[in-house]
Amino acid sequence: MNIFEEYGLSKGTIQILEQKGFSKPSPIQEETWPILIKNEKDLIGQSQTGSGKTAAFGIPIVENLLKNKKGKHIKAVVLCPSRELAIQVGNEINSFVGKRDISVFTIYGGQSYIKEKRKIKSGIDILVGTPGRIIDHLKNKAIDFSKIEYFVLDEADEMLNMGFIDDIEEILKNTPTEKRTILFSATMPKAIMKIATNYMQEFETIKVKSKTLTSDTVEQKYYLVKPRDKSELLYRILDIEVDFYGIVFCRTKIDVDELNRSLKQKGYNADSIHGDISQNQREKVILNFKKGYTKILIATDVAARGLDVNNLSHVINYSIPENTEDYTHRIGRTGRAGKDGIAITFVTPQDRYKINNIMRKTNSKIIKEDIPDISYIMDRQREKLIEGIGNIIDKNKFEENIDLAKELLKLDKSEIVVSSLIRLLMKDKFAERKYQDISEPKVINSKSFDDDGQARLFVAMGKSTGKSPKEIIDYICEGSGVDSKNIDDLKVLNDFSFITVNSEDSKKIIRSFYTKGDGGRPLVSKAKKKK
C-alpha cells in the first residue's frame, strides 16, 4: 500500500504529491493529517517555518471540500501575516488542487481591489489573505464568512508580533461558531492560547520538536562576494562543479534576463523563465529543462513555482532570499529522492545579516567557502576532462571513432594531436585569460553593531503611549522609509520598546528620528549591550 493511502488521501492527491516529489509525510503532516482528515476537532500545531505545515492543513481542507462541496461561497479562510507568505501559501494550496473543481484565491494589499472583489463575487472555495486586506473587504461587505467551514491562522506568533491581534479577533467575530479552526505557530505565547480558549472548540495540540529545517541530503554553503563580481563567481562555480543541473534564483526579471544573456554569450547551456514570458515559451523552456536538454535554468521565485524536477544537483541563490520560507523552498528543490544536492548562496557584505538569520531560523549550518582561484579552476577542468574520457574508455564507447583517431595520429606526435584536438573542441575552456580577477570583499564590523550585521535599537515608545505594536512599527517605517519586513524581533514594554534591524536600516531609522524625542533625547537610539 502507498504510504499516503494510509491517511485516507484520494488517488488524485496522491498522484499530485508523487509528481511534486513527496515520498512520505513530514513529521507535522504525520501528526495533523489523521486529525484534520477526520474533521472532528480543532487543532493547534506548533512547528517551525519550512516544516511542511501548508500541506499539513491545506491537503485535508482540499480533501474534505472535494468530498462535500456545497454552493459557490467561501468555505475556507487562511490568514497569513505578510503578502509574500499569502502568495506562497495560496500557490501551494492550489498546487494540491491540481485540475479538480476547487478554486483558490489570494488577496493582499497592492493589487487591484476591484479585481479582487469581482473574483470573490464569482465564487471562491478557499480564500488566502493578509489581515488588513481581509478587514478592508469585510468593512465594504465584499466578502461573507458566515458559511465558512475552516478558519486557518498561519504563523500566528508572527501576526501577534506585528500587532495584528485586534484584526484577527475582528475577523473571527465575522465567522460562524460551528467551523473547524486550525492554528499554526512556531512558538506558543499566552496571547495565542487566549485565542484558542476564546474561539476554538474542542482542540488538540500537536508539537513537532525543533530540528534542522533543511534536508540532510543538501550540502549548504555560501560565498561572500561583491555585487559586481556575482556573475564572475557564477562562471567559476559552473566550471568547477561536476554535472551541474540546477536552478539559479534571481530577485528580479531584469536580473534573470541579464544573467541569461551573459551565460549564453559565454557558451553555457542556459535558459530562463520569469513572469513576463508567454505561457507557450514558459512550457517550452520547462520541458527542455525537465528533459535535461537545458542544464541551467535562471528564474525568479514566482516563475519557478510549480516546477518540480527530482534530480537537480544544485540550487544557487544568486540573490539571497528575503525570508527563511523562500530559502527552504528554494533549496528543497535539490537533494530529493534520496540523492545528494548542493545549495549555494551569494552573500554581499550588506546582506550578511540575512544569512545569519537563515542559519538561526532553520537551525542549520551553512559553510562559508573561499572564492575559487583560477589555478584551482584549471585543475578541476582538467580533472573533469580526464574523468570523462576515462568513463568513455571504461564503457568501451570509443569504437566508432577508432579509424578517425588513427588518421589524426598520423598528423604529428600524439601529445601535439591531442592538445590540438582539445583546443579545437574546447576552444578557450582551459585558458586562464577568460577569467576576471575577483576577491572577497573586506568586511569591517562596526563597534555599533553585532557581529551578524544586525543592530538592536531602543525606541522611546511603549504600551503607555496607547499605541499597538503594529502602530509603533508603522510609525517607524513611515518616518524612516524602512520596509516593515526588515524589522525583526519587536519587544514592547510599558515605557519603551526594542527592535532588531540590519545595520543599514538602523542608520536610516536613527538619523530619521534623531530630533523627534522628548526632552532632547532621540526617539530611537542604539540599545545598550547587556553587561
- Is the distance from CB of 49 to CB of 325 less than 8 angstroms? yes
- Is the distance from CB of 154 to CB of 171 less than 8 angstroms? no
Residues 6+ apart with CB under 8 A from 413: none
What is the distance between the alpha carbons of residues 506 and 452, in angstroms, rounded to a whole number? 14
What is the distance between the alpha carbons of residues 449 and 527, in angstroms, rounded to a whole number? 10
CA atoms within 13 A on the CB side of 292: 6
CA torsion angle 197 162 185 251 (round to 10) = 160
Longest dimension (CA), the chain: 93
What's the chain's average pLDDT?
Answer: 84
DSSP state of 437: P
Averaged pLDDT, 295-320? 84
One-letter amino acid at 401 equals: N
- Is the distance from CB of 184 to CB of 208 less than 8 angstroms? no
Give pLDDT, residue 465: 85
- Is the distance from CB of 435 to CB of 372 less than 8 angstroms? no
DSSP state of 289: H
What is the distance between the alpha carbons of residues 381 and 91, in angstroms, rounded to a whole number? 41
pLDDT tens track for 422-467: 878 766 666 777 788 888 887 644 343 444 467 888 898 888 888 8
Give residue 531's pLDDT band: very low, low, confident or very high (50, 70, 90): very low
Percent of the chain with pLDDT over 70: 90
Q: Phi first, then psi: what are they for 435, rounded to 5°? A: -100, 140
Give pLDDT, residue 57: 95
What is the distance between the alpha carbons of residues 527 and 496, in angstroms, rounded to a whole number? 11
Averaged pLDDT, 281-288? 88
Helix 230-240, helix 374-394: angle, nearest 10: 30
What is the distance between the alpha carbons of residues 393 and 252, in angstroms, rounded to a whole number? 45
What is the distance between the alpha carbons of residues 88 and 68, in angstroms, rounded to a whole number? 26
Per residue, what are the HEC states of 223-281?
EECCHHHHHHHHHHHHHHCCCCCEEEECCCHHHHHHHHHHHHHCCCCEEEECCCCCHHH
Give pLDDT, residue 444: 46
Give pLDDT, residue 388: 81
Which of 49-53, 184-188, 204-208, 249-253 is least confident?
A: 49-53
Q: Of 158, 225, 222, which is closest to residue 356 (Cα–Cα)?
A: 222
Give residue 367's pLDDT band: very low, low, confident or very high (50, 70, 90): very high
Q: Kindly list the structural domains of the chain, giving each domain's residue range(s) and its CATH number in brackets, ordered by start.
A: 3-207 (3.40.50.300), 218-370 (3.40.50.300), 375-434 (no CATH), 454-526 (3.30.70.330)
494 vs 49: which has the higher pLDDT: 494
pLDDT tens track for 145-170: 999 999 999 988 777 766 788 888 89
One-letter amino acid at 150 equals: Y
- Burial of residue 165 (CB within 10 Å: 0-12, 13-18, 19+) is buried
Is the pLDDT confidence value at 74 over 80?
Answer: yes
Grid cell of 86 as nine digits = 499569502
Give pLDDT, residue 488: 66
Helix 83-97, helix 11-19: angle, nearest 10: 120
Q: What does each C-alpha distance from 265 to 65, 235, 271, 441, 485 come to in angstroms?
A: 51, 12, 12, 27, 37
What is the distance between the alpha carbons of residues 85 and 129, in angstroms, rounded to a whole number? 9
Query: How many CB atoms sit inside 10 A of residue 19's CB?
Result: 12
Helices (H), 75-155: 83-97, 113-122, 131-139
Where does 341-476 show beta strands of DSSP type E? 341-347, 367-369, 454-459
Is the pLDDT confidence value at 348 over 70?
Answer: yes
pLDDT tens track for 5-42: 888 899 999 999 888 778 888 888 999 999 999 988 99
Query: How many CB atoms sit inside 10 A of residue 99's CB?
Result: 7
pLDDT tens track for 481-516: 887 767 766 778 888 888 888 777 888 888 888 765
pLDDT tens track for 92-135: 999 999 889 999 999 988 788 899 999 999 999 999 998 989 99
Residues 6+ apart with CB under 8 A from 141: none
